[in-house]
Amino acid sequence: MDSNDSTSAKVKKTINVDDLPEFDPATYLDNEESIAVYLTGILEANDAGLLASALGDIARARGMTEIAKAAGITREALYRALRPDSAPRFDTISRVCAALGVRLVAQPIPAGKAAARIRFSQHPAFSPLAW
């Protein structure tokens, strides 16, 4: 039969979202480049909870027990610190990054995104009251 024949109609199948497997980024974080691209995208979102969760994804890809040991914290504490709803201390983030073999790098914000900048002197962490 010809592919243009009216009897070869396309069949549409409905997919129930609940039937799809849960997406796990850790399965795709199998090399340094994919980890760097993933973490860079997460950092651009400027969301501390998302960063903690992403570091958790990377730690799971590398092995939570080994990363916890290298970071000098218990495996349970690592899981708690890297939950999506957590607010880990910078010290924890820094130790986990070192254990993962990654570092966070500061870059200037492009001029087109100047409206999103927080003035250094206005940031609460640099207020004399915070000292």
Tokens matching residue 28: 């795709």
How far lies 58's CA from each of 16, 24, 62, in Å? Answer: 29, 11, 6
- pLDDT class of 121 with cuts at 50, 70, 90: very low
Q: How many Cβ atoms are within 10 Å of 99's Cβ, its own excluded?
A: 20
* Most confident option among 15-19, 91-95, 122-126: 91-95
Q: What is the DSSP string of 90-128?
A: HHHHHHHHHHHT------PPPGGGGGGPPPGGGSGGGSG
Confidence (pLDDT) at 92? 93
99 contacts 114 by C-beta, under 8 angstroms: no
Least confident of 30-34, 87-91, 110-114, 125-129: 125-129
Residue 57 in this model has a pLDDT that exceeds 60: yes
Tens digits of residue pLDDT in 73-116: 999 999 999 988 888 899 999 999 999 999 888 888 777 665 55
pLDDT, position 16 = 86
| Amino acid identity at 91 | D
| Average pLDDT of the chain, as a whole number | 81
Q: Give the per-residue pLDDT at 47.
A: 86
* pLDDT value at residue 114: 53
